[in-house]
Chain A
């Protein structure tokens, strides 16, 4: 049989990436410590209950914020509507844990809110009147204001692609605007909204920094504690398995509930440019206010809070080795992007040219890495390396590979690779999907080999998708916390880990500078991508 480089490579990549899922599953065959007994009698139900409350709260709030803002911006024209359409995605630059620091710092006793009131109205006992946003409520707010962007972006693109005919049909049937919205517009955008909410659900269940900061016990913290406190990797993986199962069940339920409904019409050449409705007077004011308040609360508020502290405590700015942190972040971003792009390209091309069913299944499984919380991935990775080292490497009498992978850049980039592979794979895949297979075949018939077709035809064609993927990966890595925290080499810090460490030591003021840097860099990347993110514009 002829050796098929592309097929074998794609297979190897997919197999590597599904290792953590495999590891999580095999935990059922291993002994655990008595942590489970302790947990069962104490916090286990609380973990599950808290995870559910958090999930429901965040899903409701992100649905309201994301769909509401997407609807207003897509269908109406009002002062600032063009500005808000991209400004509203900036909140993605603020990770939930940084939002949590800002929220806590603003409303805490003698915090920023107190200072403002004191400045405006003089001395007074304002603390008892200032609401406190901590615990579960603060957590829901922090995660929602950071993650509603997923729903906003997907709902908006769906709204923009909705046929004008559909909306005119509603008018023709005599529907009010509200009725048109919930009987026509909203159901047609359902797959997009659900996709957005699924991403939010995965990120929420995976959230570590904010959950840890507000000391809310969820399954994620349970996993972390099983590992940190009891050194029980098998049990940590077992909880992870339930978390994974829960996430997959959410997907399956939604998929089944759709039955055979279709949500779009293939109107070839029938796309009619949607005309935005111009709002005046009070309606215009409300639309503007909704978007502005959302923009303010989700982005300006945490940015101002961090800026305020940076200015108020300038010594923190000088104490921090900003250049070093920047270089570390840049190093991780460049290396990971390079590795991810390289392998995702090979895998995508392998899938395209070999068209094998097994490869398709493995690729689908391998992209589920994004659904696995970072904490689980990191722990599963350590488990696997320890097992592999114990059972294979040592039996061959070779030096332990633990040091090579745990607490090293290699290990860190490997886990980033597993976690963010779906972003790279899907980003490139969506680029490929627009390219008819005839294009490849035409190239072969023009005398191009498979490699030459890949290099001379595909790469130039995919360059925009590649750029978009690189920026997206960079954005994720800059914000990423748990994997970096668990697997980074000794004394190797990023803006995210520095902010977390300062915050966990109750030095919120010191967390401000790295947080601010993180927000600024992430905002820069978002602005770079906004052209692609908002490319569905037909405005």
Chain B
């Protein structure tokens, strides 16, 4: 017997006769866990959700929920019998019913087996949609429709909730608040959830685990911290776009060297033989600002990011390196200024690729 709550094993996810993601395996261990799937547009994230929901069939592998086989090449449990709810990215509200009726249809449609009945009012309040209850879907904004659909999904208290870009149309000012509330309610109700998003911060916040889908494959499936700090491939680094890769040469068990930055020390996540030529991942927070240092680089750009400035610095071999500095730091620099980097450079984790 499988110990996992959800288990996806060796599945090729297909839509319209075309394979979108190949040979995918991942699992959700505990009830109430949230996992997030990240990837560029069109990579097949939605196809994965649709397949798990039973809207698409599979030709290989298995999908099991609570140890019950839902999909395989031979078997297919119809969506209406899966106790899985999918909140679509586009407006999927019943157009001829008011928002309230839509939500209550969700509450009535599936009687939770032995589950504590969820009061739709609580969800309605939480998602701040009280004012639009009497309106029809065509009378509300895309963000409101998304929240209403989310409410409808939540009130069904499914065994598995699938959210496809649930907050993509929600205003930025309201998004963080909803993320907090959403996570709280999912955790309180112990609703196991898979969230598809292209927003890595949203994924890192919501998910117990994150999956990165790139080039028809599930490239990495790990804790958000690991995905961010220890990406397992150059493709994941490029996708997350949270740093750059610079050439370096391994000089010892805890050190390597770059022509422009000199000696860099730290803990290798994966060891390489001394003398290996590698690509070193440098993230904006890896380097420290120090104008007293003799390592000076030219500022070519400065981006204001609220709490931080991200300086883009040019090295002598014309590498462009991002460095994050707190907005309130002394001696702010302008473009063309010289920017000092603290030496010796020490990194908590050294992530390299051959």
Seen from chain A, the residues whose Cβ lies within 8 Å of a Cβ on chain B are: 434-436, 438-439, 441-449, 457, 460-461
Contacts and interface: CB of A to CB of B under 8 A. Distances in A.
B95 A434 contact: yes
A445 B53 contact: yes
Given A434-B95, A449-B80, A444 B55 contact: yes
Given A444-B55, A445-B84, A445-B86, A438 B79 contact: no
A442 B96 contact: no
Contacts of B86: 441-442, 445
Interface stretch (B4-12, B104-112, B241-249, B288-296): B104-112
Contacts of A442: 86, 88, 92-94, 149, 152
A170 B106 CA distance: 50
B85 interface: yes
Contacts of A461: 94-96
Nearest to A443: B94
Given A436-B91, A443-B94, 19 more contacts: A438-B88, A439-B93, A441-B53, A441-B79, A441-B88, A442-B88, A442-B92, A442-B93, A444-B80, A445-B53, A445-B80, A445-B82, A445-B85, A445-B86, A446-B85, A446-B109, A446-B110, A447-B156, A448-B109
Contacts of B110: 446-447
Interface residues of B, number: 27
Contacts of A438: 88, 90-92
For the complex of A and B, the 10 pairs showing the least CB-CB separation, nearest first, are A438-B92, A446-B109, A444-B79, A461-B96, A442-B92, A438-B88, A447-B110, A447-B109, A444-B80, A447-B80
A107 B252 CA distance: 111
* Among A434, A446, A447, A448, residue most surrounded by chain B Cβ atoms (within 10 Å): A446
Interface in B66-122: 78-82, 84-86, 88, 90-96, 105-106, 109-110
A457 B80 CA distance: 14
Contacts of A457: 94
A444 B55 CA distance: 9
Contacts of B92: 436, 438-439, 441-442
A435 B95 contact: yes
Interface of B: 50, 53-55, 78-82, 84-86, 88, 90-96, 105-106, 109-110, 149, 152, 156
A443 B149 CA distance: 12
Given A446-B105, A446-B109, A447-B110, A439 B94 contact: yes
A357 to B, nearest CB: 11
A466 to B, nearest CB: 12
Given A438-B90, A438-B91, A441-B88, A446 B156 contact: yes
B353 to A, nearest CB: 40
Contacts, number: 62
Contacts of B50: 441
Contacts of B84: 445
Contacts of A448: 80, 109
B73 to A, nearest CB: 15
A272 to B, nearest CB: 18
* Among B93, B96, B110, residue most surrounded by chain A Cβ atoms (within 10 Å): B96
A445 B94 contact: no
A371 B78 CA distance: 40
A442 B86 CA distance: 7
A460 B79 contact: no
B306 to A, nearest CB: 30
Contacts of A441: 50, 53, 55, 79, 86, 88, 92
Given A444-B55, A445-B53, A460 B80 contact: no
A436 B90 contact: yes
Nearest to B81: A447
A444 B92 CA distance: 12
18 contacts: A436-B91, A439-B93, A439-B94, A441-B55, A442-B86, A442-B93, A443-B94, A444-B54, A444-B79, A445-B80, A445-B82, A445-B84, A446-B80, A446-B85, A446-B110, A447-B80, A447-B81, A447-B109
A255 B253 CA distance: 72
A419 to B, nearest CB: 31
Contacts of A443: 94
* Among A438, A439, A443, residue most surrounded by chain B Cβ atoms (within 10 Å): A438
A238 B183 CA distance: 71
Nearest to A435: B95
A445 to B, nearest CB: 5
Nearest to A438: B92
A445 B79 CA distance: 6
A5 to B, nearest CB: 14
A209 to B, nearest CB: 41
B106 A446 contact: yes
Nearest to A2: B76
Nearest to A460: B96
A441 B106 CA distance: 13
Nearest to B138: A434
A461 B101 CA distance: 14
B315 to A, nearest CB: 45
A460 B101 CA distance: 13
Contacts of A444: 54-55, 78-80
Contacts of A449: 78, 80
* Among A443, A445, A447, A460, residue most surrounded by chain B Cβ atoms (within 10 Å): A445
* Among B78, B81, B95, residue most surrounded by chain A Cβ atoms (within 10 Å): B95
A3 to B, nearest CB: 14
B214 to A, nearest CB: 26
A457 to B, nearest CB: 6
Nearest to A456: B105
Contacts of B79: 441, 444-445
A460 B85 CA distance: 23
A460 B98 CA distance: 13
A457 B96 CA distance: 9
Contacts of B95: 434-435, 439, 461
A430 to B, nearest CB: 14
A439 B91 CA distance: 8
A438 B91 CA distance: 8
Contacts of B106: 446
Nearest to A444: B79
A391 to B, nearest CB: 41
Nearest to A457: B94
A449 B80 CA distance: 6
A107 B154 CA distance: 73
A435 B90 CA distance: 12
A144 B91 CA distance: 44
A444 B88 CA distance: 13
A434 B94 CA distance: 11
A447 B96 CA distance: 19
Contacts of A436: 90-92
Contacts of B55: 441, 444
A448 B92 CA distance: 15
Contacts of B53: 441, 445
A435 B96 CA distance: 10
Nearest to A355: B16
A431 to B, nearest CB: 10
A421 to B, nearest CB: 25
Contacts of B80: 444-449
Nearest to B87: A442
A401 to B, nearest CB: 41
